[in-house]
């Protein structure tokens, strides 16, 4: 079933102006839900202009309209972004707003719900239209329960987990590109962004949206070189447990778990990870879970699809060598 109202998608992008991978999933999802209704895409003008190739990419994913969204406030602030999106929702008549499930977007979604009366679902795994209502499936309680949530309000706002939608393209048309400038309220500008520090590019995928993640825990004893080497061979991101970040072995931005990043990659490899409940809550929705641990009673083996009982310093070099051989 498809919706009769337009769908709006927020186009999160990198500092280099490239679309973030989850956005391509959102546009694919929007196209399927919109049917014959238009799909609108909002590009936040935060100092980076959308390139011609990005516009073509957005069109091939089904967007019929692209809005260059600007405001007289910093769009990196959730209050400013929320007011800008509220204005664009009103202008387009969209009945559904789709966003990548990031910390920033979830905060903006909450503000939008307060100002517009919209129904909000965060961290959705799937989204469909059932009897005229948007219904999302999501996992809760540290990944131990699967739930379905229906939005009854006229406006639906949904943040979708990365790796939830198979991306597909269509024969592109030329989207209508327009400027949408918003004058935000004084309330939204009460917070001033003093400084933004851009994380140095590692060449690896972003942890929150990566399809493959290799995570290291206490068993690494502080040496993440083999974890990073395996991640680079299989094109994955590097994550860690809370113990590893608390010990200073790796930055806190790599922490996976209830108090860190929640991930849902197609492949998760836990290296020296015991599988404590607070870590499992952040990765249990992974498609395939591989565990490497010297303790056969480690809790991670309870949820692993494939387990290796052994010393990671022996197992990983062999695994990396074999993977390189297979890759030629």
Q: Where are the domains of the chain?
A: 7-189, 212-327
d(CA 4, CA 22): 24
Residue 256: Cβ within 10 Å count: 31
Q: Strands 212-216, 237-240: parallel, antiparallel or unpaired by DSSP?
A: parallel
Can you give the pLDDT at residue 143? Answer: 66
Q: Backbone dihedral region of 187: left (phi > 0), alpha (psi from -120 to 50 degrees) or beta? A: alpha
Categorize the per-residue pLDDT at 321 as very low, low, confident or very high, splitting at 50, 70 and 90: very high
Fold annotation for 7-189: Rossmann fold (3.40.50)
Determine contact, residues 241/256, Cβ cutoff 8 Å.
yes
User: 218-243: per-residue pLDDT in tens?
Assistant: 999 999 999 999 999 999 999 999 99
- The least confident of 55-64, 192-201, 220-229 is 192-201
pLDDT at 183: 96
Span 6-27, mean pLDDT?
94
Q: What is the pLDDT of residue 62?
A: 95
Question: Taking residues 197-210, what's their average pLDDT?
Answer: 80
Band of residue 201 on the pLDDT scale cut at 50, 70, 90? low
Predicted pLDDT of residue 35: 87
* Of 247, 183, 188, 186, nearest in space to 216 by CA: 247
| The pLDDT of residue 199 | 66
Q: How confident is the model at residue 23 (pLDDT cuts 50, 70, 90)?
A: very high
Q: What are phi and psi of 237, to 5 degrees?
A: -90, 160
Phi-psi region of 64 (alpha: psi -120 to 50; beta: other; left: phi over 0): alpha
Written as six digits, the tokens of 111 are 């503000």
pLDDT at 2: 58
Average pLDDT along the chain:
93
**Which fold does the domain 212-327 belong to in CATH?**
Rossmann fold (3.40.50)
pLDDT of residue 3: 60
pLDDT average, residue stretch 141-153: 85
pTM for the model: 0.84
Q: Summarize the confidence of residues 34-59 as an average pLDDT.
A: 94
Mean per-residue pLDDT, 167-179: 93
Q: Residues 67-104: pLDDT tens digits?
A: 999 999 999 999 999 999 999 999 999 999 999 998 89
In angstroms, the CA 101 to CA 161 distance is 5
Strand partners, 126: 137
What integer is the mean pLDDT of 3-13? 89
pLDDT digits (tens, 9 = 90+) for 249-306: 999 989 999 888 889 899 999 999 999 988 998 898 899 999 999 999 999 999 999 9
Q: Is the pLDDT of residue 154 over 90?
A: yes
Output the pLDDT for position 203.
80
Residue 197 has pLDDT above 80, yes or no: no
pLDDT value of position 49 = 94
Is residue 101 within 8 A of residue 120, CB to CB? The reply is: no
Please give the structure tokens belonging to residue 67.
Answer: 């809005």
Residue 157 scores a pLDDT above 80: yes
């Amino acid at each position: 079933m498809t919706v009769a109202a337009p769908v709006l998608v927020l186009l999160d992008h990198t500092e280099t102006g490239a679309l973030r991978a989850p956005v391509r999933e959102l546009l694919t999802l929007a196209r399927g839900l919109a049917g014959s209704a238009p799909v609108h895409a909002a590009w936040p003008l935060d100092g980076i202009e959308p390139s011609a190739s990005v516009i073509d990419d957005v069109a091939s994913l089904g967007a019929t309209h692209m809005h260059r969204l600007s405001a007289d406030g910093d769009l990196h602030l959730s209050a400013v972004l929320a007011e800008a999106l509220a204005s664009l929702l009103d202008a387009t008549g969209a009945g559904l707003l789709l966003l990548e499930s990031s910390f920033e977007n979830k905060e903006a979604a909450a503000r939008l719900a307060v100002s517009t009366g919209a129904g909000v679902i965060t961290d959705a795994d799937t989204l469909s239209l059932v009897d005229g209502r948007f219904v999302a499936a999501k996992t809760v309680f540290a990944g131990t329960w699967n739930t379905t949530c229906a939005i009854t309000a006229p406006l639906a706002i949904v943040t979708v987990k990365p790796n939830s939608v198979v991306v597909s393209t269509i024969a592109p048309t030329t989207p209508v590109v327009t400027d949408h400038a918003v004058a935000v309220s004084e309330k939204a500008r009460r917070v001033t962004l003093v400084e933004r520090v851009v994380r140095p590019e590692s060449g690896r995928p972003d942890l929150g949206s990566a399809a493959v993640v290799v995570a290291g825990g206490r068993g690494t004893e502080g040496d993440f070189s083999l974890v990073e080497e395996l991640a680079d061979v299989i094109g994955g991101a590097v994550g860690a447990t809370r113990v590893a970040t608390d010990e200073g072995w790796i930055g806190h931005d790599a922490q996976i778990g209830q108090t860190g990043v929640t991930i849902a990659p197609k492949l998760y490899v836990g290296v020296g990870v015991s599988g404590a409940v607070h870590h499992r809550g952040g990765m249990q929705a992974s498609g395939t879970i591989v565990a490497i641990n010297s303790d056969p009673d480690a809790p991670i083996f309870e949820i692993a699809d494939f387990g290796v009982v052994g010393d990671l310093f022996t197992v990983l070099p062999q695994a990396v060598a074999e993977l390189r051989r297979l890759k030629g």
